[in-house]
Amino acid sequence: MEALLKHMVDITCQRDHALLDSSVASALHELVGAEQVRVHELFRFRNELFMRPRAWIRDGKVVSAGESAGEQAGESAADYPVLLECMRQRATSAEEVDATGRHTLWLPIWLNDKVSTCLQVIADRPYPVETRHMIEGILAVYRNFQNILDYSERDSLTGLLNRKTFDEKFSRMLAAAQPDNQQDRPERRCQQSGTVGHWLAVCDIDHFKRVNDQFGHLYGDEVLILVANLLRSSFRAQDRVFRFGGEEFVVLLRSTTLEDARKIFDRFRRNVEQHDFPQVGKVSVSVGFASISTESPVVILGHADQALYYAKANGRNQVCFYDELVQRGELRSEVSNDTVEFF
Ligand SMILES: Nc1nc2c(ncn2[C@@H]2O[C@H](COP(=O)(O)OP(=O)(O)OP(=O)(O)O)[C@@H](O)[C@H]2O)c(=O)[nH]1
């Protein structure tokens, strides 16, 4: 009882998804006596379901993948038919026994009819009824806390990450980038089109005021929701998409070359251009992006913003890259106060 309470206190004091994953893995490992506990992220890629571990047990201790979880390719969930069948039935658990007699418990976490997290608990013997009840209780607390964390991190209209979470996600992305020496003159490295880097884009709906004025705020809100959906479907699970307020969105694009970053941002722009918005018809977006260097988030955001203003001032419905505009002499950045000047 004392151990259970200690773990409950540990789970409920977390204000961060990675720490919450670690504390639930630790609780299940110790309280259930499981030999392995994995917390998997589930995601779709080209209509196929994949999973990759965010936290697991190694040498009796919890290991967390942190932000680098997104860098891993993941395994196809098709290799785990018991889990797939469990999800198809919208069940909360399924047990299987392998040839060596190990018992695996699959525990998908249902939030608003969707599963983006699944726990896998492995033990060398069956789970007694009391243990199953205890696991259910721990998972109910875990699910509630995931819900609370999601609620505080997300914009209520679009469900995208909110501005409040930007600094933290940005710092984590930089920290995850450091082992491959991204700090080694990152600006130069990222400007070479063949070198992998990280990118920040500011995306803004063109003439959005006209949408509100012509069709009313309810249709304006619907456009925001649909653009948010197009953002979600245009970027990968490891990228991060934020609503910064109004009709402005920020994207953190991970581990890709300049050439691919340009293609990916332009694909999003085209997806919006080609979409038929109910009643409103056609809508376009302008995008400004910059390489993520060791500069502060404010400076990098400022660069992307300058490129966005350039895109707006030069016809809209286009993607502009800050470094290229500076190199071409189209944009001059005053480092001292980070203001923009057009030539
Ligand atoms: N419907 C709706 N409108 C919003 C929301 N937040 C901000 N807006 C509106 O977004 C509009 C933004 O207008 P502007 O900043 O003038 O920009 P714009 O009309 O998009 O013009 P450009 O950016 O120059 O292409 C304003 O009319 C705001 O009232 C929201 O949550 N819902």
Cα distance between residue 287 and residue 311, in whole Å: 7
Share of the chain above pLDDT 70, in %: 89
Cβ–ligand 1 distance for 246 under 6 Å, the answer yes
**Residue 188 C-alpha to ligand 1 middle, in angstroms?**
35
CA distance 303 to 297: 10
Write down the pLDDT at residue 334. Answer: 55
The answer on pLDDT for 274 being more than 60 is yes
* 177 pLDDT higher than 90: no
pLDDT: which is higher, 8 or 223: 223
pLDDT of residue 227 exceeding 60, the answer is yes
For the ranges 47-56, 66-75, 220-229, 307-316, which has the lowest average pLDDT? Answer: 66-75
What is the DSSP code string of 49-85?
EEEEEEEEEETTEEEE-GGGGGGS--EEGGG-HHHHH
Q: How confident is the model at residue 252 (pLDDT cuts 50, 70, 90)?
A: very high
Q: Is the CATH code 3.40.50.80 the one for domain 161-342? A: no
The CATH code belonging to domain 2-153 is 3.30.450.40
> With 60 as the cut, is the pLDDT of residue 25 above it?
yes
Burial label for 128, CB within 10 Å (0-12, 13-18, 19+), is exposed
> Which tokens in the block code for residue 303?
């660069």
> What residues act catalytically?
247
Q: Is the pLDDT of residue 233 over 50?
A: yes
Is residue 209 in contact with ligand 1, taking CB distance under 6 Å? yes
Domain ranges of the chain: 2-153, 161-342
